[in-house]
Amino acid sequence: MTVKRVMIIDDESAARENLRAVIDKFNQLEVIAEVSDGESAIKEIERLKPDLVFLDIEMPNLDGFNVAQKTSYLSYQLVFVTAYEKYALDAFGTNAIDYLLKPVRPELLEKCINKILHHEEIVLEKLQLKNGQNNTLVLTDGNTSRVLNNEDISYIEGIGRYRRVHLTKEGQVNHKIETIISDTTLDEFESLLPSSEFMRVHRSYIINIQLVINIRKDKRRHFATLSDCSEAIPISRSKHPALTSILNSR
């Protein structure tokens, strides 16, 4: 297990203690330093080269934006922590990956950390797949990480901010669940899954092309029927020729 080295920078001792109390719950994180002013923060970031920095904005002499700017040449993940909403727009104009308001609620900090750790799982899985090392996906379902084989996936549906992964009958038996809700984007899924087995047939759908049994036309629209589900999957006009060609070449 890779452990991320964390630095907490805040001029308020209570704020540092509150952050550390939550961070210490994660085995994947290790607090390597706590700093109370901007000038020291720059020196310690340069010396210790942390992986993740929780940075207050309003501090004496040198504020958090200056700290971020002067250390931007170093590679670390940055989360701003501040009592003022007015800085939000400026914060996201930097390389910050999140913005937390004081007093930071523990559940929001945990959500922020889980998002960081989960994103890295997806990136790692993407690299593994591109290198042909496996044919699985690791998806987080609530507090459970599920390892899915490609054949466990029937189709993936975009539903607003989230995606619903529909499992095949075999996948449902293996995982004892019918669908998984994920915040992985369809673009990410498309790059993770092999194009020989999956296809983005619509802006909101990716299907397992091995399961397609027919394509039907309803007025001007085309729909795919999969062998293990009753729902008709819409096919965009631009994707219809490619899918038809694949089916004809079987």
Confidence of residue 124 (pLDDT cuts 50, 70, 90): very low
Rg, Å, the chain Cα set: 23
Give the residue from 18, 76, 83, 73 showing the smallest Cα distance to 52: 76
pTM of the model: 0.50
User: Where residue 127 falls among pLDDT bands split at 50, 70, 90?
Assistant: very low
For tokens 């040198």, the residue is: 62
Nearest to 182 by CA among 136, 126, 115: 115
Compute the average pLDDT of residues 105-134: 64
Angle subtended by helix axes 106-130 and 13-23, to nearest 10 = 50
CA diameter of the chain: 69
Average pLDDT over every residue of 142-147 = 69
| Helical ranges in 151-199 per DSSP H | 169-175, 186-192
For residue 202, name the pLDDT band (cuts at 50, 70, 90).
Answer: very high
Q: Is the pLDDT of residue 134 over 70?
A: no
Contact status, residue 146 vs residue 180, Cβ threshold 8 Å: yes
Q: Grade residue 174 by pLDDT with cuts at 50, 70 and 90.
A: confident
Say if CB 212 and CB 168 are below 8 A apart. Answer: no
- For residue 152, what is the DSSP state? G
Q: List strand residue ranges (DSSP E) for the chain, in order.
A: 4-9, 29-35, 52-56, 77-82, 96-101, 136-141, 144-149, 153-159, 162-167, 179-182, 198-202, 205-208, 212-218, 221-226, 232-235
Lowest average pLDDT, out of 14-28, 83-97, 117-131, 132-146, goes to: 117-131
Residues 67-90 have a mean pLDDT of 77
- What is residue 138's predicted lDDT score, i.e. its pLDDT? 76
Provide the pLDDT for residue 131.
42
Compute the mean pLDDT over every residue in the chain, rounded to the nearest whole number: 83
Q: What's residue 33's pLDDT?
A: 94
Asked if the model's pLDDT at residue 215 lies above 80, the reply is yes
Overall average pLDDT of the 33-52 stretch: 93
Q: How long, in residues, is the chain?
A: 250
Specify the pLDDT at position 43.
Answer: 94
Percent of the chain with pLDDT over 70: 85
Q: Residue 119 has what pLDDT?
A: 58
CA dihedral angle for residue 117, residue 145, residue 199, residue 149, rounded to 10 degrees: 130
Q: How confident is the model at residue 40 (pLDDT cuts 50, 70, 90)?
A: very high
**Cα–Cα dist 53/80, whole Å:** 8
Domains, in order of start, for the chain: 4-118 (3.40.50.2300), 135-248 (2.40.50.1020)
B/e letters for 219-250, b = 16+ CB within 10 Å, e = fewer, are eeebbbebebbeeebbbeeebbeebeeeeeee
Question: Sign of torsion, CA 123 112 35 31?
Answer: negative
Joined tokens for residue 87: 């800085």
Do 227 and 154 touch, CB atoms closer than 8 A? no
16: left (phi over 0), alpha (psi -120 to 50) or beta: alpha
Q: Is the pLDDT of residue 11 over 70?
A: yes
Residue 4 has pLDDT above 70, yes or no: yes
Residue 95 pLDDT grade (very low, low, confident, very high; cuts 50, 70, 90): low
Give the pLDDT confidence of 98-112 residue by residue, as tens digits.
778 888 888 888 888
Token couple for 150: 């490609």
